Amino acid sequence: MPVICSLFFVAAWILAVTLGPQTLPWTWGPAITALGLAVLAALPVIWKRGKIPADFGAIALGLLAVAWFAGRAWISPVAQLGQSDLLLIGATVGTFISIRAISGNARAERILIWGVALLLLANVLVIAKQLADPGFAPVFKAHLGLWPSGFLSHYNEAANYLIASSMLIGAAAIFGRHAMPTRILWFLIALAGLAAVWFTRSRGGIFGAAVACGVFASLSLVIGKRQNARWFAPALVAIPLIGLAIGTFLFMGWQDAQTTRQSGLGLDSLLDNTCRLYFLGLAFSCIELHPIAGGGSRSFSWECYRFWEQKAQGAGATRPEMVHNELVQSATDYGLVGAGLLVGLLATLALVAILRVLFEDVPSSRDSRDSWRLGALAALAGMLVQSCFSFVFHLLPGILLLGVCLGQMSWPAIRPSTSKTLATRILLTITAIACAILLLPAGWKGSQVLLSLWPTHFSQQTNRSPEARIDALSTAIQLWPQSTFYQQRAALYQTIAGSKTNPGFREPAELAVDDYQQASRLHPFDPALEVNRANLLSQLQSDSEAEAGYAKAIELQGGMESGFRSHFSFATHALRKSFRIYRQETPAPALDALELAAQQIETSVLEMHGVAPDMWEPRVTIHESLGSAREAAGNRPGALEAYHFATTIGGTRAHYRAAALIGKIAVEAWSNRQASEALTGFTEARKRLDQAGNSLPSGVTPGQRAEYLAYLDRMIAFLIGAKIQPR
């Protein structure tokens, strides 16, 4: 059974790296199906082996942490995000159980190591290909990243995978029980994996690789001393050279990565990118909301909006779905209790493994304990460093590597106590059954969804017609309803609907509205869903529903106006509404809409600390139209104020409207025998007309402008000739 377990686990690992290196849980389907089968295969091993599968204390502490994270994920505010985290938790536990079943069986271990080594080599070869052809993707339709990432979708995750796999293979090469040619080959593959980290240009990855190599070298010396290895004395003498090599790798790697990524900038600008510091600051604010229990799975992805300040943290056009620091992410989502349990578990297992490396008696027949512990400790050190810069444990390959490290670090002592063997086996059995119950149905469902979406979303020969994509998404929704599926289908319906002038606009637009509503039901904290739905409702002239949607989107987006632009969308809706409902005899409703539009557009500008290129024309139109509506309602001072503001933001045609109103006021003054006021008004109107130039409001022709200009000149000349002095 260990061999069967190892085969299924290697299959899961391959599927996770090639098909599931994403945060999309349905892409994990094939991998977690294979992992669930590996867990079932591990069940007989737990009871048939003649020694304790793992320490009772490690199992109990691990299950306590798992229970907390799983419980909080189960009751998370967004169920689908909680399900994703539950699958990652289940994958970690399933990997741990599988590794404990595989460990100690020479054939099963050999299958596992060969699987890891060959997949690592395949990734290195893909990275080499991507260096020559950046768009090359071995499985998916295209590689969209800037830097090589192998089978994985992002260079940071690729670096994390390369570091951990290289450490595991390198340890097996040095201390494993295998033939010398095999060990030499594995060692070369491990070196190639570390070299590939350099070419990912991941600065956190290069740092993580340096730390992992330092841990690897230190523990190798300890193990070599305990085993009286012949190479120990030369290696001890070479410690300064080893340290120099690691330091050089770190310095030169950072220098090269920074130069490549920043178009010539050197190491001195390494810390110029402060976005991760901003994310940490936002995360600490989120933690203060619920420090003990956290906000639930991925709660940072929506709670961060309320604390976003563009002046301090930048535009925020890209939604910060993750903290980019896994420990802080765990505190944000699962509270200080969750973060404490996680740190306690990792620290305990690492300390126990280090103590056993330092002091455990060498067995008479050397086994692979030292090899696995060395690889696991070095791999975990590298991944933890990388996890300070990226969300590597929210992707399936990273979580499988974490499970492998935990499983090998918990390898029990050579002479374990048998007093708690039965309790340990019972705990492992219950956990394994629960894990299989979680993973297998979700894996089957995810595999079906992936199969249905593959031709339209992932395949290199993608069918991109909207109709085909809608059919595929409809099938996926029936299998596994997700907010993302509804959102994507709504966007496709919106594309089919086109503009409001399209005769067939209404039916697909209404379908899109329904899908956005369903997406909001599944993820009620996503402002994009509300603002997109409100935009469609605005086009459908469902004004009250649209305005309620904009208000909700504004509440949800917090300070992320630059990302979601709810205030701006609300303003443009109110502008369109004012044009539609304007009546000259009853201008009040349109005036109310324009007052609202002006308020919303200025709030948008204020929160964005600037005006985006597409905002300029609507902003000018809103204030110019507001002036016209105020003028129609008899509020001349308010109209002039709006016209003046429109001119200050670049609306030169508002000068003409101001000139017309000022001229009208001047005519009334002249009719009332207020000659000085009339001359002042005509002169100001003439000045405004000059400022307007050829920028004329809609409906005003150059001939009308010339006629009005001549009239003003005649009136000014007449009054001056009559010896009238302007007031």
| pLDDT score of 268 more than 80 | no
Locate all alpha helices (DSSP H) within 262-395, ordered by sequence.
Answer: 275-289, 300-303, 310-313, 326-359, 369-386
CB 1 within 8 A of CB 101: yes
> Exposed, middle or buried by CB within 10 Å (0-12, 13-18, 19+), for 580?
exposed
pLDDT-derived band at 563 (thresholds 50, 70, 90) equals: confident
Length of the chain: 727
Closest among 454, 471, 470 to 462, alpha carbons compared: 454
Q: Give the per-residue pLDDT at 31.
A: 95
Q: Give the per-residue pLDDT at 479.
A: 94
Give the residue, 183 or 50, on which the prediction is more confident: 183
The DSSP letter of residue 724 is P
| pLDDT score of 63 more than 80 | yes
Q: Give the per-residue pLDDT at 363.
A: 55
CA distance 674 to 502: 55
Angle, CA 687 vertex, CA 686 and CA 692 arms, to 5°: 95
CB 12 within 8 A of CB 32: yes
Scored b (16 or more CB within 10 A) or e, 585-594 reads eebeebbebb
Encoded amino acid at 342, one letter: L
Encoded amino acid at 259, one letter: T
CB 618 within 8 A of CB 565: no
Give the residue, 439 or 242, on which the prediction is more confident: 439
Least confident of 358-372, 669-683, 684-698: 358-372
Q: Give the per-residue pLDDT at 462.
A: 65
Scored b (16 or more CB within 10 A) or e, 48-67 reads ebeebbbbbebbebbbebbe
| pLDDT score of 95 more than 90 | yes
CA distance 642 to 31: 62
CB 305 within 8 A of CB 299: no
Average pLDDT, integer, range 423-445? 90
**CA R_g for the chain:** 34
Give the residue, 228 or 202, on which the prediction is more confident: 202
CB 220 within 8 A of CB 176: no
Residues with Cβ within 8 Å of residue 255, at least 6 apart in sequence: 266, 267
Closest among 388, 355, 380 to 369, alpha carbons compared: 355
Closest among 154, 89, 99, 164 to 127, alpha carbons compared: 154
Locate all alpha helices (DSSP H) within 19-105, ordered by sequence.
Answer: 29-48, 56-74, 79-102
Average pLDDT, integer, range 504-522? 92
CB 32 within 8 A of CB 446: yes
Cβ atoms within 10 Å of 434's Cβ, excluding its own:
15
Least confident of 379-388, 458-467, 614-623: 458-467
| pLDDT score of 22 more than 80 | yes
pLDDT in tens, 685-714: 999 988 888 888 888 888 888 998 999 889
The DSSP letter of residue 633 is T
| pLDDT score of 263 more than 50 | no
Encoded amino acid at 83, one letter: Q
| pLDDT score of 486 more than 70 | yes
pLDDT-derived band at 72 (thresholds 50, 70, 90) equals: very high
Q: Give the per-residue pLDDT at 313.
A: 61
CA atoms within 13 A on the CB side of 714: 7
Mean predicted lDDT score pLDDT of the chain: 86
| pLDDT score of 425 more than 90 | no
CA atoms within 13 A on the CB side of 426: 4
CA distance 223 to 377: 13
The DSSP letter of residue 454 is I
Proportion of the chain above pLDDT 90, given as a percent: 49
| pLDDT score of 78 more than 70 | yes
What do you get for the CA distance between the two ends of the chain, in Å?
Answer: 103
pLDDT in tens, 391-400: 889 999 999 9
Q: Give the per-residue pLDDT at 418.
A: 53
CB 553 within 8 A of CB 533: no
| pLDDT score of 414 more than 60 | no
Residues with Cβ within 8 Å of residue 422, at least 6 apart in sequence: none
Which residue has 């019972």 as its token pair?
A: 426
CA distances from 314 to 275, 610, 635 (A): 8, 12, 40
Structure tokens at 519: 């997406």
pLDDT in tens, 145-189: 678 888 988 888 899 999 999 999 999 998 877 788 888 999 999
CB 409 within 8 A of CB 350: yes
For helices 106-132 and 155-175, angle between their N-to-C axes, nearest 10 degrees: 140
Is the Cα torsion angle 547, 552, 554, 560 positive or negative in sign? negative
Structure tokens at 272: 């110029």
Coil/strand/helix, residue 462: coil
What are the helix and strand counts (H, E) for the chain? Answer: 30, 0
Closest among 352, 341, 434, 400 to 55, alpha carbons compared: 352
What is 195-232 written as a DSSP string? HHHHHTT-HHHHHHHHHHHHHHHHHHHHHHHHTT-TTH
